[in-house]
Structure 1
Amino acid sequence: MIALLLYRPVLKHLLTVEEIEQLFDADTAHILRLLLKTSDLYAKNTAVNTENFRHLLFSFAEDVRVILLMIADRLCMMRLGKQMVDEDERLRLSAEAGSLYAPLAHRLGLYAIKSELEDLVLKYTEPQQFEFIRHKLNETKRSRDAYIKEFITPVKEKLEKAGLRFDIKGRTKSIHSINNKLKKQKVEFEDIYDLFAIRIILDTPAEKERAECWYAYSILTDMYQPNPNRMRDWLSIPKSNGYESLHITVMGPQKKWVEVQIRTERMDEIAELGLAAHWKYKGVKSDGGGVDDFLSNVRAALELSKEGSQTDLIQDFNMNLYKDEIYVFTPKGELIKLPQGATVLDFAFSIHTGLGSRCASALVNDRNVPIKHELHSGDTVSILTAASQSPKQDWLNMVITSKARIKIKQALREEESKNVEFAKETLQRRFKNRRIEQDESVFMRYIKKRGFKTITDFYTEIAENRLDPNDVIDEYLELLRKENETPDYTEPRSAEGFVVSPPVADEKVSGENILFVGKNLKGLDYKLAKCCNPIWGDDIFGFVSTQGIRVHRRDCPNSGEMTRRFAHRIIEASWRKTGGEGYIVMLRVIGRDDIAIVTNITSVIGKESDVTLRSLDIDSAVGIFQGNFSVMVNNIATLNRLLRKIKDVKGVKSVDRLNTKKIE
């Protein structure tokens, strides 16, 4: 503080650093010299808005107290802006505060100072906009306070009933923040719903902090509907500057969205005062050594690059800002925050997914280590890669960060998807080589009969050579043969469904016989073929077998083979003019894997009075949804109408009636 008070007199040559050292002490003189050194750099460099300048500034500021004093000095100047400097100077100071000092305060976790600086910048650079928002906030204060009270009152009752000790209050957001919302959302002031936030501050011992925060969360979300897309969990993983809180948005009274922040008293003090408050809770000593430890850790948290030997001493610092966190270095000196117990793989994935996927080993403090090596604070880590390397299943046992686990699982799924696609193409090629058309509905029944829960599991067996494609085709043909020879329990019909025209003189069944389907005719046994499931309105033909007549669609996958080998058994068939009822159809739907897509499709089916959903089978892989829906319809017109409506469902890419063309 003494150095800050004497900084400007020294800058104006009213005092010298040597005189200050004689009047006070060497430490004060040291800080003053660094302030002057940094100030000289700052005056010469015009690129104050670049990240490179911030890095250079950190390198010159050998003592992080200089950064803290610079922020405090600039805040003081901004507060007294109109009294101390002219308009041009205010604009220059504001530009510097907005591009340099506010981000520095944010990096330190000094959110109260950061918000005040940003508001002052707006006040001097856009005075009309600042006054407009300030006037609007004052104008709506009464109604806003009334709403906050309406929201808070029942919450207080519930929290008190739960035995929690807490303080709850409403906080209007900063003018700068509101201005950003107006610009980003391109709306009027009245259309911004989150002008304020509710803050619940719990008085709880350290060992119960997270549990009671989540308890308060459960109470609140039982009362008000939460918006899952606007939840931010900084309890599980705090920000690198120490910020911890649980942010949620709920639907409050009058159907208005309200942001709620849940934190403890310790977390709130850190949020307002930054990392300085965090070290208070870590037990900073009263002597100079404790302060030095604090300053060293703050500097290390700020350091983003190594430029010169000055930064080499950082690796000697204890980087454990929190008990459950470590800080490690990249080869370029960038600091990476990781949970305690993190490995080389965690580090690699935190840098880049590609680096993690190709990680083969690492140099930790110039020593070669395997990918499962556990890292410690202050380690310098250089990742070694191999082009042939790729994520393995056992990598999941080597990482602890959620990012690494997610990326590894994603890579494994993508690899599985490639293998499945290759297996699928291989099987289709074998079908084609043997000149066999594949019936999707029969094939799905074959897969289920083999005991596979999903199509992916089935193709994975082929991809991993545990299932031979030729054996699959043989078993499929055997199932198809049995189904064509056995009664169809889902499509029971009697001879009453056909009318046969009088036979020709030799009484042979020929292609000129016409069967009319749809009216009673006793004495004739027939069934609708299960391989193609014809429905009323389809173009059909009859096929005479030892078990009676089977009615097939003209586009049945087996029609070509039957025509080529058994043309003498084929008879013409047609539907009676009166409609049918109760025909089973299998539909295949492909679309974007979304939690709502199945609900939306079944809703469409349920709204059709003449359609019944019989069963469904769902599978998904790498963001793609595939569903097989078995429905009962009365005729082809009903089916076509249903296909069009399913195609219109959001997220649906295509819908097929199996063995027919896609409805695009």
Structure 2
Amino acid sequence: MESSDAKQIADEQLIEEKFQELLNGYLNSNHRKKVEIIERAFKFANEAHRGIRRRSGEPYILHPIAVARIVSQEIGLGSTSICAALLHDVVEDTEYTVEDIENLFGKKIASIVSGLTKISGGIFGDQASAQAENFRKLLLTMSEDIRVILIKMADRLHNMRTLGSMLPSKQYKIAGETLYIYAPLAHRLGLFAIKTELEDLSFKYEHPEAYKQIQQKIQYTEKDRQAIYENFAKPIEKRMKELGFKFEMKARVKSVYSIWNKMQTKHIPFEEVYDLYAVRIIFQCNNEADEKKECWNIYSIITDIYKLHPERTRDWVSRPKANGYKALHLTVMGPDGNWIEVQIRSEKMDEIAERGFAAHWKYKVGDSDEESELDVWLKTIKDILEHPEPNAIDFLDTIKLNLFSTEIFVFTPKGDLITLPTDATALDLAFTLHSDLGFHCIAAKVNHKLVPLSQKLQSGDQVEILTSKSQTPKEEWLSLVTTAKARTRLTAALRKDRRLNISKGEKIFKEFLSSNNIENDNKLITKLLNHFGLAQREELFFKIGNNDLELGESIRKFLKEKNQNIFMKYLKISFGGGNNNKQPDAEERPVIDRKQNYILKDHNGIKNYAIATCCNPIPGDDVLGYVDENETVIVHKRECPVAMRLKSSFGPRLVSTQWESGITQSFPATILIEGIDRIGILNEITRTISNELNINIRNLAIEAQEGVFHGSLNILVHDAKSVETLCRKLKKIKGVKAASRAKE
């Protein structure tokens, strides 16, 4: 009993200590000191959560305190947000209501808590697509008060920091949806530091080995990097001090996740990631009007000392990014022959870059009538919410089109400036200006030159949209648009046309059956669907109504034949079911325990899993399992795009998996290879693969042009280690410059 009392006293001391840390941080900020209401919110939340513990075993109240601390010290918000963060789980987890919060703490805090409660319900729930629906609720609430999303970000960040106590399958789900939704949203809101940490933590749980290796390599190269930086920085610092600048100069290492991303996309090892860090110069500037001039003065100092890379200057000072980011970036050749990126920012620019929109409030003076970029973005979100995709996952993908995009700036014929995502087309602009322009768009004039709808726009283009009343939306337009608004409006218009064609087709079909005395039943429809390779009757009716399929004599004869073998098993290929893996019958298959680690076995060709055809994982890859409706475990690579969608929307169907040691079956893999062409090199490559490593080559395609060759090898291997060994050996062949496993 005594130990239980001692534990309680220790817990209370820890809670008090953590709350004091929160309070001290708040008192050191430049917000008005409303300590009394924060203390009341803490006491209320502490009482409400008394006796409840987190999965890690610590008192639950430590989570709201930690979230409030992130809100205060890492995002820079004030007492209203701190109170809302302390109270954010009270309504959901206890008997108290939003009305109780309003009576005790006022309307504003209650409104934010209510918004947070709306989006917490079912965050780890069991329904398919629950997370996508949740995200929609989050955006609806966000458009009412931006602080809701900022506190939600803090909540997610703390959950990620304490993810270690969760089951592996939960870790994949939470890490997956963090990378899929929250990190891009943090980026779009300008919360750079939080975005980077969310990405790194997600990566740490999805690929623990790769994370550890990259971290170790960053530490090993620390000394060399420091020497290169000091050598580079000295002449710049000397010149800036002579000219009277007050500044701080530092090197910032790329995040583990962004280094890994570069290694994957460029198929290069860690050693070849040259831009491991960027140099940042943060200068003091008392007058905001001089910021731009000072940035270019520093730019001039640097380019007097080092040679400039002409294509890698980014002026985010004259034209800030839509998330508020301002800086001047340039890349110069350092004294050791490496390209080094330099980011020039004032102290204010730096705070906005790290903390996002919340930092704007710190600097805001008086009321501004100007519509901020954030308001414009929120309007876009509202617009999409009013015309949502019917499928929650499609909706999520549509929103993500806007989250991930970087911006270009184009002008209308009248000189109005329009912000669009990179790769936006003339058709995107038409829809951005007005839906009717989009529906009737036939072409565009870019810089007075006639171009098609598919023309990708560049920053600075002047664009005029040309329309025709007879033009109607086309299905193929979906491949020409990148903006969420264009895709949403286009899909809605096509759906309307499609419905008309479906009802027209159904009418034609029924009349055809009636005139030929054929009975209309489900077996008949299934027979036709199988015959034409269609999945749904709506597709059949659409093709008939759209004149893509004619009901003639051959169809009449076919329908009159005896029904044979008309039932066909449809597999959901998008979730990896379409393969020839031998499986035990569904009736024999036991229900899989999602909480246990599932061992992937292969005994005499009978496997207890199926390989996803979208990413073709092999033993040794970081994988997870998706349990389909037949209790089959479908194995995906953790970074596979399809798996990303599954993690975000079908969390309860995920299972943590592990390859059984000693799997002898062969798996297909593709190696990409490139180098300098010479006589006999192909011979050496095939000899290395077949003789030295005894690997079976299924296919080899090599193309040489102007002394350089590129090729791909399709091979059969037992595991990922064999592929790594092969790539290492191939790179030792004279002339081979790169060899890496292809992303499926």
Larger Rg: 1
TM-score scaled to structure 1, two decimals?
A: 0.47
TM-score scaled to structure 2, two decimals?
A: 0.42
